[in-house]
């Protein structure tokens, strides 16, 4: 009973969401979720669902306790609004999240479902570690909770982590308890000449919050280090870097900071930090091989987005060459997957490669969603 | 032939001499882990040295439908490694090699039996360490840390074990060898490592772990601060946190815990203090210096007594010695004790401690309090004399009531010791049937036959394939007006 256009629903409570899901499950209707809509172009587009659920009605702040470093909110709440709420307590939310998506209305649930990453994953715990608890609605409408709302808790399986990065394919995140961080008083930036220097900073005593590498197509890679904290500390650490690392210069927050590369195709490459300089070198070679410009941007920790292609050319072959080259270059210390591409490219390339543990993921999907009703085609490898 | 004999017959010719323990006296040495009240002699013990041997043993268990339990150093405090009477105990302590340390990648690859502190000791000369540091770190294994998602005093700042694992080799409950993750920071798909960490051995056996190594901080400073009361100390902690400081650790001990530590290790804590805080700051030297001044000022706001700043590693060691030996130390002031592990929202510390003393009074037992004050993880030590009739039961009651108290504050029944066999019965107080059934869906994906460490974590697991119980209505905590949705 595939419909040309999906039905829409906008539940206002977890119970309403559960009723919708129970009904859809009974009728064998497929369901997809929409938060801020900022990740529609990421991952394969998937099949048109029978029902599209707008999470905008579940946007309440349920609890905010700065003294306990926690905020509990509906999944449909906008990150920008939650950041404002956290700011009232001198704290901040999701320090590691791309600014371009926040600016476009990304929601808490969407951020978690898509496991978005940003620069500051070095100085803070990554997103998956700050999600303390979730309420999820399963394919059959069951409301289940896991984790809790305290910063330390090991009771039961950590289903919050399972939901983080599941792209709506295992259940719908309805509300979330998240850990907050004190907002640093100041920030400072230092520019460095290349990827090797970036790695040296990672191994130094500078304690950076972020070390980002950016390489424009055809150009040289440069790195920008961010330090945060008390003004005296930021000043001292910035000065120390300028003194210690050849070619380092005081800088400002670059215009591209925390914003993803804009290109027809984006590949996500995650590598062991030790391989970062080599990866950057590989990109120059690949540009020559494919005859297309490649933009590289990401964290020296080893998570990069590679933007490929020009708007007027078909990027399919270039995409395939880059994916295959990176995968053959280093297997277990790297993963290269397609993040964002035109529909035609998804069909023509091996978007995921060999995913460690894929068999277990398949079984988990079959257990949680045996009828394949949740976000069909949006997960990795057809999950 | 019994099922266990079938397993034995299958694996014996394929394992080296001495790997299999059948002798009853020797098997009995494995009857419990760090929680000695739960004892079961395993039907068979296998000491393994490789992934292949683990897979061989597990495949045999799978084939003959025999439960198996993995055991690391056996230091767990929730009975997570308590053997199964009709099952095989797989001893991982014999897999004790550090396979690789790559400092540029900030990674190490280790076998699960490697002792937590040994890895840090190995990496220290090069300026790195393994950040998770449970109090048992000189004896506990990294495989055990993964199973329990161990924390430790420094996890508020550095995160739990799960934040320090990037890859592993898993032997599934069917005996298949699966590689998960690797050296890169992220891999596509579901977060299998995230669910394996803290699954208490119920989703298979991890036989190799890739962990992150953390840069040793440039400066570390440890402060010991005496207060009149736990209330004053608790308020100082609140002020330190709201000043925007993220200390590497903030630990609190009350008067009774101080007395015990003093008797056991002569740590020379401030005399007559109603509570002490151990505050550790680490990071760039300039930050540590600035933060120290703030911590001291905030402590003085709450009428701190003696404030001692450790000037060197020896003094730091002595301060930590008092804290880290606290559990064992209460043995000096009480013949028996129960170590409890509960979590509350940190800001509720004052009222909760008051309620704990009421509970203690009503049950006629003494309670010493040691806890991670930064994150609200309480370790009440319920003291009793097992030789006196009824005392053990009273202590058990007090201990259970403390957990209920934690739940009524919106907290958790365990912050770091795990559920194991000890707290499975408390899980329905924290979670609904739907919540627990949902966790079972995950279990069924990994271990449909329920052979991997059965009887732990969950009180009454439903069979895989059985339709879930569907009930509706409010969460038990909501009904009681104790918690919002979370």
pLDDT tens sequence across A48-90: 999 999 999 999 999 999 999 999 999 999 999 999 999 999 9
The verdict on A278 and A366 lying in the same domain is no
Residues A313 and A277 both lie in one domain: yes
Residue found under tokens 């694996």:
B11
Q: State residue B356's pLDDT score.
A: 97
pLDDT digits (tens, 9 = 90+) for A190-213: 999 989 999 999 999 999 999 999
User: Which of B186, B441, B484 minimises the CB distance to A72?
Assistant: B484
CB B154 within 8 A of CB B248: yes
A41 contact partners, CB below 8 Å, separation of at least 6 = A340
Sketch the domain layout of chain B as residue ranges.
3-91, 98-215, 217-323, 334-442
Contacts of A44 (CB under 8 A, 6+ apart): A346, A351, A377, A378
pLDDT in tens, A269-284: 999 999 999 999 999 8
Clarify whether residues A72 and A135 are in a common domain.
Answer: yes
Cβ distance B445 to A155 less than 8 Å, yes or no, reads: no
Q: Count up the domains in chain A and report the number.
A: 2
Angle at A127 between CA A299 and CA A11, to 5 degrees: 130
- Is residue A230 located within the same domain as residue A129? no
- pLDDT band of residue A291 (cuts 50, 70, 90) is confident
**Pair of tokens at residue B169:** 């080799």
Q: What is the pLDDT of residues A91-132, one digit of tens each?
A: 998 767 889 999 999 999 999 999 988 899 888 888 898 999
Query: For residue B477, what pLDDT is reported?
Result: 55
Whether residue B183 lies within 8 A of chain A, CB to CB, comes out as yes
**Number of neighbours of residue B33 by Cβ within 10 angstroms:** 25
Which pLDDT belongs to residue B476?
55
What are the pLDDT digits (tens) for A18-41?
999 999 999 999 999 999 999 988
Tokens, residue A233: 């500390």
Is the pLDDT at B411 greater than 70? The verdict is yes
Q: How many CA atoms lie within 13 A of B189 on its CB side?
A: 27
Quote the distance between the C-alpha of residue B382 and its chain's center: 18
Q: What is the pTM of this model?
A: 0.95
Using alpha carbons, select from A63, A36, A68 the residue that is nearest to residue B343: A68
Q: Between chain A and chain B, how many beta carbons pairs sit less than 8 Å apart?
A: 303
Residue A100 and residue A58 share a domain: yes
Task: Assign a CATH topology to domain B98-215.
Answer: 3.30.465
The per-residue pLDDT for B469 is 47
CA distance A258 to B160: 26
Q: Is there a contact between B485 and A175 if contact means CB atoms under 8 Å apart?
A: yes
Q: How many CB atoms lie within 10 A of CB A176?
A: 31
Cβ neighbours of A150 in B, within 8 Å: 343-345, 375-376, 410-412, 415
What proportion of chain B, given as a percentage, has pLDDT over 90?
85
Architecture of domain B217-323: 2-Layer Sandwich (3.30)
> Measured between beta carbons, which residues in chain B are less than 8 angstroms from residue A69?
241, 346
- Choice among B67-71, B340-344, B472-476 with the minimum mean pLDDT: B472-476
Q: In angstroms, rounded to a whole number, what is the distance separating the alpha carbons of residues B464 and A202?
A: 46
Residue B485 — very low, low, confident or very high, per pLDDT cuts 50/70/90?
very low
For residue A91, the model assigns a pLDDT of 94
Q: At A297, is the pLDDT very low, low, confident or very high (cuts 50, 70, 90)?
A: very high
Instruction: Tell me which of 1.10.1420.10, 3.30.70.2740, 3.40.50.10480, 3.40.50.410 is the CATH number of domain B334-442.
Output: 3.30.70.2740
Burial of A28 (0-12, 13-18, 19+ CB in 10 A): exposed
Beta-carbon separation of A181 and B347 below 8 A: no
Same domain, A199 and A305: yes
Interface probe, candidates A360, A364, A366, chain B, greatest B C-beta count within 10 A: A360
Residue B264 pLDDT > 50: yes
Other residues' Cβ atoms within 10 Å of the Cβ of residue B29: 12
Tell me, yes or no, whether A307 and A371 share the same domain: no
Tell me the per-residue pLDDT of B349-386, one tens digit each, with 9 for 90 and over. 999 999 999 999 999 999 999 999 989 999 999 999 99
The reply to whether B334-442 shares the fold of B217-323 is yes
Min Cα–Cα distance to chain B from A279, Å: 12
Q: Does B478 touch chain A (CB under 8 A)?
A: no
Report the alpha-carbon distance of residue B155 to residue B175 in Å, rounded: 33
Q: How many angstroms separate the CA atoms of B273 and B277, rounded?
A: 10
Beta strands in A66-137 (DSSP E): 70-74, 91-92, 131-137
* Beta bridge partner(s), residue A308: A265, A294
Same structural domain, A230 and A287: yes
**Together in a domain, A375 and A296:** no
**Are A303 and B102 inside 8 Å of each other by CB?**
no
| Residues A299, A375 within the same domain | no
Under CATH, which architecture does the B3-91 domain have?
2-Layer Sandwich (3.30)
Give the residue among A219, A113, A116 at the shortest CA–CA distance from A166.
Answer: A113
Half-sphere exposure of residue B267: CA atoms within 13 angstroms, side-chain side: 28
Reported as a pLDDT band with limits 50, 70 and 90, residue A292 is: confident
Say what the pLDDT of residue B466 is: 65
Reduced 3-state DSSP string for B248-312: CEEEEEEHHHHHHHHHHHCCCCCCCCCEEEEEEEEECHHHHHHHHHHHHHHHHHCCCCCEEECCC
* Judgement on whether residues A173 and A284 belong to the same structural domain of the protein: no
Residues 62-91 in A contacting B (C-alpha not used; CB under 8 Å): 62-63, 65-70, 72, 90
A 15-44: CB under 8 A from B? none
Instruction: Provide the domain limits for residue A139.
Output: 1-183+355-382
Has the ipTM of the complex gone over 0.90?
yes
- For residue A84, the number of C-alpha atoms closer than 13 Å in the C-beta half-sphere is 7
Q: Do residue A149 and residue B483 have CB atoms under 8 angstroms apart?
A: yes
- Number of alpha carbons in the 13 Å side-chain half-sphere of residue A318: 25
User: At A301, is the secondary structure helix, strand, or coil?
Assistant: coil
pLDDT at position A331 is: 66
């Amino acid at each position: 009973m595939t419909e040309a256009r999906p039905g829409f629903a906008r539940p206002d409570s977890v119970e309403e969401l559960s009723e919708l899901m129970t009904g859809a499950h009974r009728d064998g209707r497929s369901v997809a979720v929409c938060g801020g809509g900022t990740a529609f172009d990421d991952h394969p587009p998937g099949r048109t669902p029978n029902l599209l659920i707008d999470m905008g009605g579940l946007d309440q702040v349920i609890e905010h306790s700065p003294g306990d470093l926690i905020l509990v909110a509906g999944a449909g709440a906008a990150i920008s609004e939650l950041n404002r709420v956290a700011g009232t307590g001198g704290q901040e939310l999701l320090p590691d999240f791309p600014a371009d998506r926040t600016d476009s209305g990304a929601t808490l649930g969407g951020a978690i479902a898509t496991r978005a990453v940003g620069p500051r994953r070095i100085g803070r715990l990554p997103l998956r570690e700050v999600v303390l608890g979730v309420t999820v609605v399963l394919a059959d409408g069951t409301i289940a909770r896991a984790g809790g709302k305290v910063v330390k808790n090991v009771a039961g399986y950590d289903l919050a982590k399972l939901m983080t990065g599941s792209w709506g394919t295992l259940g719908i995140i309805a509300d979330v308890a998240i850990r907050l961080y004190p907002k640093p008083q100041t920030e400072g930036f230092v520019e460095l000449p290349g990827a090797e220097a970036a790695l040296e900073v990672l191994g130094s005593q500078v304690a950076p919050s972020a070390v980002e590498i950016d390489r424009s197509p055809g150009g040289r890679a440069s790195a920008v280090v961010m330090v945060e904290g008390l003004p005296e500390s930021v000043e001292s650490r910035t000065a120390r870097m300028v003194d210690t690392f050849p070619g380092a210069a005081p800088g400002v927050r670059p215009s591209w900071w925390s914003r993803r590369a804009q290109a027809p195709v984006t590949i996500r490459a995650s590598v062991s930090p030790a391989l970062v300089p080599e990866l950057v070198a590989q990109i120059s070679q690949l540009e020559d091989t494919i005859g297309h410009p490649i933009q590289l941007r990401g964290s020296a920790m080893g998570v990069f987005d590679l933007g490929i292609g020009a708007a007027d050319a078909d990027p399919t072959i270039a995409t395939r060459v880059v994916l295959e080259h990176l995968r053959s270059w280093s297997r277990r210390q790297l993963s290269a997957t397609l993040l964002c591409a035109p529909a035609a490219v998804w069909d023509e390339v091996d978007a995921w490669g060999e995913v460690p543990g894929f068999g277990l993921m398949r079984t988990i999907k079959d257990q949680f969603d045996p009828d394949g009703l949740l976000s069909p085609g949006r997960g990795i490898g057809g999950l | 032939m019994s099922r266990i004999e079938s397993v034995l017959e299958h694996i014996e010719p394929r394992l080296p001499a001495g790997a299999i323990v059948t002798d009853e006296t020797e098997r009995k040495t494995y009857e419990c882990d760090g929680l000695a009240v739960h004892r079961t002699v395993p039907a068979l013990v296998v000491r393994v040295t490789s992934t292949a041997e683990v897979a061989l043993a597990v495949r045999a268990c799978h084939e003959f439908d025999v439960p198996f339990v993995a055991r690391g150093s056996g230091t767990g405090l929730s009975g997570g490694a308590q053997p199964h009477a009709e099952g095989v105990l797989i001893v991982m302590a014999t897999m004790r090699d550090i396979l690789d340390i790559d400092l540029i990648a900030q990674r190490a690859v280790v076998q699960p039996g490697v002792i937590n502190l040994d890895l840090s000791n190995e990496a220290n000369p090069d300026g790195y360490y393994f950040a998770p540091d449970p109090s048992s770190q000189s004896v506990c294994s990294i495989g055990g840390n993964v199973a329990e998602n161990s924390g430790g005093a420094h996890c508020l700042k550095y995160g739990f074990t799960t934040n320090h694992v990037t890859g592993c080799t898993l032997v599934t409950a069917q005996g298949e060898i699966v590689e998960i993750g690797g050296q890169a920071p992220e891999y596509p798909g579901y977060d299998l490592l995230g669910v394996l960490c803290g699954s208490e051995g119920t989703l298979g056996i991890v036989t190799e772990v890739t962990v992150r190594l953390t840069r040793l901080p440039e400066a570390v400073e440890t402060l010991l601060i005496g207060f009149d009361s736990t209330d004053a100390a608790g308020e100082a902690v609140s002020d330190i946190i709201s000043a925007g400081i993220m200390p590497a650790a903030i630990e609190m001990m009350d008067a009774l815990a101080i007395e015990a530590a003093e008797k056991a290790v002569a740590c020379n804590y401030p005399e007559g203090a109603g509570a002490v805080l151990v505050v550790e700051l680490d990071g760039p030297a300039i930050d540590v210096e600035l933060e120290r001044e703030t911590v001291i000022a905030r402590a003085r706001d709450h009428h701190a007594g003696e404030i001692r700043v450790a000037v060197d590693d020896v003094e730091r060691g002595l301060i930590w010695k008092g804290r880290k030996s606290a559990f064992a130390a209460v043995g000096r002031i009480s013949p028996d004790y129960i170590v409890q592990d509960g979590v509350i929202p940190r800001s509720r510390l004052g009222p909760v401690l008051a309620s704990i003393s009421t509970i203690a009074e009503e049950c006629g037992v003494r309670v010493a309090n040691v806890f991670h004050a930064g994150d609200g993880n309480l370790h009440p030590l319920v003291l009793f004399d097992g030789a006196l009739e009824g005392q053990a039961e009273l202590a058990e009651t007090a201990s259970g009531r403390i957990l209920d108290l934690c739940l009524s504050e919106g907290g958790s029944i365990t912050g770091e010791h795990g559920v194991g066999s000890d707290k499975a019965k408390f899980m329905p107080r924290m979670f609904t049937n739907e919540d627990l059934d949902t966790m079972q869906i995950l279990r069924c994906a990994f271990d449909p036959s329920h052979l991997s460490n059965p009887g732990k974590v969950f009180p009454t697991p439903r069979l895989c394939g059985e339709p879930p119980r569907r009930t509706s209505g409010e969460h038990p905590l909501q009904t009681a007006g104790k918690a919002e949705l979370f």
